[in-house]
Amino acid sequence: MVGSDIEKVLVPKEEVEEIVKRLGEQITNDFLGEELIVVCILKGSCIFFSDLVREINLDVKFDFMVLSSYGNSTTSSREVKIIKDLSEDIKGKNVLVVEDIIDSGRTIKSLKELLEKREPKCLKIVTMLNKPDRREVDIVTDYNGKVIPDEFVIGYGLDYAQNYRNLKDICVLSPSVYMK
Ligand code: IMP
Ligand code: MG
């Protein structure tokens, strides 16, 4: 049962809402008078993306990517594989990539390098959560929701084995679930 799989609530939904509002205001102010392509990284970012775009008061277009990381974290050459690419060309456009969480930083670093090659006017990253204790590569994110400790979290789009994405709060998964 979902309830017993949760160790604790880490970021309650009220705080999530405040964070998303703040990020939306920051982004709106930084791009006033400009158009923005907002890129949702599926599946984890879908709920954050849906809330965030409604707090951005600009002309926005949506695009979606599906990525999968391969190799293992001890391989420094690990790169992201694109399962589904953007549907529009981003050359000369303002692009905002929406991520759920930055962990080792490898996914977003690799994605950033890949998208920079397409010569956008500007490429920014927004992440809901950040686990700096786990970082393996240098990566600068432009908009940051909340820094969290090194714990495995679920909810608000984040999964464990594809489950729990629909929880409203961001929660710490009970270790008993992955010890099973
Ligand atoms: P990175 O390349 O190590 O930064 O991996 C980031 C990706 O790993 C995220 O987009 C998530 O899909 C996944 N991930 C990392 N930490 C967590 C977590 O605590 N809960 C759920 N997914 C996570
Ligand atoms: Mg992800």
pLDDT of residue 72: 45
What spacing in Å lies between the alpha carbon of 107 and ligand 2's midpoint? 8
Of all helices (H) and strands (E), which one includes residue 15?
helix 13-30
The more confidently predicted of residues 4 and 49 is 49
What spacing in Å lies between the alpha carbon of 138 and ligand 1's midpoint? 16
pTM: 0.94
Let me know how many helices (H) and strands (E) the chain has, helices first: 5, 9
d(CA 177, CA 142): 34
**Is 5 in the active site?**
no
Q: Rounded mean pLDDT of 159-179?
A: 94
Q: Which atom of ligand 1 is nearest to the CA of 159?
A: 21
- Asked whether the beta carbons of 151 and 10 are under 8 A apart, the reply is yes
Catalytic residue among 5, 51, 103, 169: 103
**Could you report the per-residue pLDDT of 152-166, keeping only the tens digit for each?**
999 999 999 999 999
**Could you report the per-residue pLDDT of 98-150, keeping only the tens digit for each?**
999 999 999 999 999 999 999 999 999 999 999 999 999 999 999 999 999 99
